[in-house]
Amino acid sequence: MIDFDNLEGYRDAVAYDQLNNLDGLEEKFFSDLAHQSGGPILDIACGTGRLTIPLAKQGYDLTGVDITIEMLEVAKRKSSAQDVSVNWIHADIRNFEIKKKYKMIYTTGNSFQHFLDRESQEEMLRTVHKHLDQEGLFTFETRNPVLSLLSADEDIEKDAGSYVDKDGNQVSSTYRRSYDHKKQIELYLFTNRIWKDPTNMIETKEHFAIRYFFPQELESLLYYNGFILEKMYGNFDLSPFQAESPLMVCICRKR
Ligand SMILES: C[S@@+](CC[C@H](N)C(=O)[O-])C[C@H]1O[C@@H](n2cnc3c(N)ncnc32)[C@H](O)[C@@H]1O
């Protein structure tokens, strides 16, 4: 499907945290569901624990699984600094197995879009199904494929933010993107300009790909993998899902 390492952008987890804050509405959405379902809770592709740690702080039994060791190292450092207990596990969720059932399983930060082909989507969903309590809920968000937006501004260089990398260098990033309609994959090419001394700047390139799901396709994928899509919102504020909504925020149960 792709010929590059799609995890490249997660090797500098300190930079990830600088660029990705936890939005209050996102936190409230998952907190309210955690309150409804109770624990234990499994965070799939938990990254640096952006949401795992705030939920664990509320007293829930949290397990966070991620494939990128650098992300987990930052997650562990942050949770121990805050004296928060989380069971961090380094694993590929597609073949993850633990002898425990969860009342709530979630994935956020658009991690659902990292499973690019049907095989890996089904492997991920199989893991969720196997570990979800019969009464439990599975929740995630994925970006809404608004075709007018996906086909706009292709190959135009845009600002992707600035940060200080793990070695203390100043980094300024831009990106170009394009959308492959047949594969439903959005491809990004980031250019990172890196310097300590502005007269000695180096440039690196980084590729990234995410998969888009159309609403009925998503409902079928979930259905044929053992889930009922109970609710789909257009954002974390629980607004109704519409053609132009930014997200598809899904709540599913086992069928
Ligand atoms: C955009 S980050 C989101 C991290 C976190 N959920 C958040 O909201 O900040 C995507 C994460 O997915 C993880 N990931 C990608 N493929 C994975 C897989 N097969 N199994 C476990 N984690 C995976 C990456 O390592 C990365 O930490």
**Secondary structure of residue 209 in the 3-state scheme:** strand
CB distance 47 to ligand 1 below 6 Å: yes
CB distance 111 to ligand 1 below 6 Å: yes
pLDDT tens digits, one per residue of 198-209: 889 999 999 999
Q: What is the mean pLDDT of residues 82-102?
A: 98
In our burial notation (b when 16+ CB lie closer than 10 A, e otherwise), range 22-61 reads eeeebbebbeebbeebebbbbbbbbbbbbbbbbbbeeebb
Write down the pLDDT at residue 42. 98
CB distance 234 to ligand 1 below 6 Å: no
**Of 58, 59, 45, nearest to 13 (Cα)?**
45
DSSP state letter for 241: P
Whole-number Cα distances in Å, 133 to 17, 93, 115, 126, 170: 31, 17, 23, 13, 46
pLDDT tens digits, one per residue of 43-55: 999 999 999 999 9
Q: What is the mean pLDDT of residues 186-213?
A: 95
Write down the pLDDT at residue 46. 98
The rounded Å distance from CA 195 to ligand 1 centre is 28
- Enumerate the β-bridge partners of residue 193: 172, 203
pLDDT tens digits, one per residue of 116-157: 999 999 999 999 999 999 999 999 999 999 999 999 999 999
The residue type at 117: D
Domains of the chain: 8-144+213-254 (3.40.50.150), 147-211 (2.20.25)
The rounded Å distance from CA 112 to ligand 1 centre is 8
**Of 38, 34, 190, nearest to 106 (Cα)?**
34
pLDDT at 217 over 90: yes
The rounded Å distance from CA 114 to ligand 1 centre is 8
DSSP E strands: which ranges in 120-245? 132-143, 158-164, 170-180, 185-195, 202-211, 227-233
The rounded Å distance from CA 205 to ligand 1 centre is 20
Write down the pLDDT at residue 1. 85
The rounded Å distance from CA 46 to ligand 1 centre is 6
CB distance 109 to ligand 1 below 6 Å: yes
For ligand 1, what atom is nearest to the CA of residue 109? 8
Q: Which of 62-71, 112-121, 190-199, 235-244 is predicted least confidently?
A: 190-199
Pocket perturbation via mutation, ligand 1, pick of 18, 63, 68, 122 by most ligand atoms within 8 A of CB: 68
The rounded Å distance from CA 66 to ligand 1 centre is 6
In our burial notation (b when 16+ CB lie closer than 10 A, e otherwise), range 71-92 reads bbebbeebbeeeebebebeeee
Q: Which two tokens stand for residue 221?
A: 């994928």
Q: CA–CA separation, 171 vs 93, rounded Å? A: 31
Q: Residue 66, Cβ neighbours under 10 Å: how many?
A: 27
